Amino acid sequence: MMISRKIIFSLFLFLFFSGESFDKKIGNVNNNNGENREINIAGTIFDHVNDSHEWHIIGTHNHGIIFSLPVILWNNGLEIFSSLRFSHENIVKGKYGYYKMFKGVIYNTNNLGLFNVDLRGIPKNNKPLDFSITKNVVSIFISSFLLLYLFVRMRNSYRNFQIKWSLGIFLEFLILFIRDEIVIPNIGNRKYKIFFPFLLTSFFFILINNLMGLIPGFPNVTGNINTTFVLATMTFVISNINTNISYWKHIFCMPGIPIGIRFLLVPIELVGIFIKPLTLCIRLFANIMAGHIIILSFICLIFIFKNLFIAGFSIVFGFFISILEIMVAFLQAFIFTTLSSLIIGVSVKNYDYDNKK
Same domain, 195 and 271: yes
Same domain, 110 and 142: no
Whether the CA torsion 162, 167, 173, 176 is positive or negative: it is negative
Same domain, 259 and 110: no
- Give me the domain span that covers residue 89: 70-132
- Listed in sequence order, the residues at least 6 apart from 10 whose beta carbon sits closer than 8 Å to its beta carbon are none
Percent of the chain with pLDDT over 70: 79
Q: What is the pLDDT of residues 202-261, one digit of tens each?
A: 999 999 999 998 888 888 899 889 999 999 999 999 998 988 788 888 788 777 778 778
Tell me the C-alpha distance between 136 and 142, whole Å: 10
Task: Give residue 195's pLDDT.
Answer: 93
Tell me the C-alpha distance between 274 and 23, whole Å: 47
Q: Are 47 and 63 in contact (CB under 8 A)?
A: no
Residue 259 or 117, more confident: 259
Tell me the C-alpha distance between 146 and 124, whole Å: 41
Q: What is the pLDDT of residues 188-204, one digit of tens each?
A: 888 889 999 999 999 99
Same domain, 213 and 273: yes
| Res. 112 pLDDT band, cuts 50 70 90 | confident
Tell me the C-alpha distance between 69 and 53, whole Å: 6
Same domain, 115 and 250: no
* pTM summary value: 0.79
Q: What's the chain's Rg over C-alpha atoms?
A: 26
In DSSP terms, 55 is beta-bridged to: 67
Report the range of poorest mean pLDDT among 44-53, 114-123, 242-251, 340-349: 114-123
Helix (H) or strand (E) holding 340: helix 308-348
As for how many domains the chain has, the answer is 2
Tell me the C-alpha distance between 304 and 313, whole Å: 13
Same domain, 226 and 350: yes
| Res. 27 pLDDT band, cuts 50 70 90 | very low
DSSP 126: P
* Residue of 271, 292, 170, 304 lying closest to 224 (CA atoms): 292
Residue 21 above 60 pLDDT? no
Amino acid at 80: I
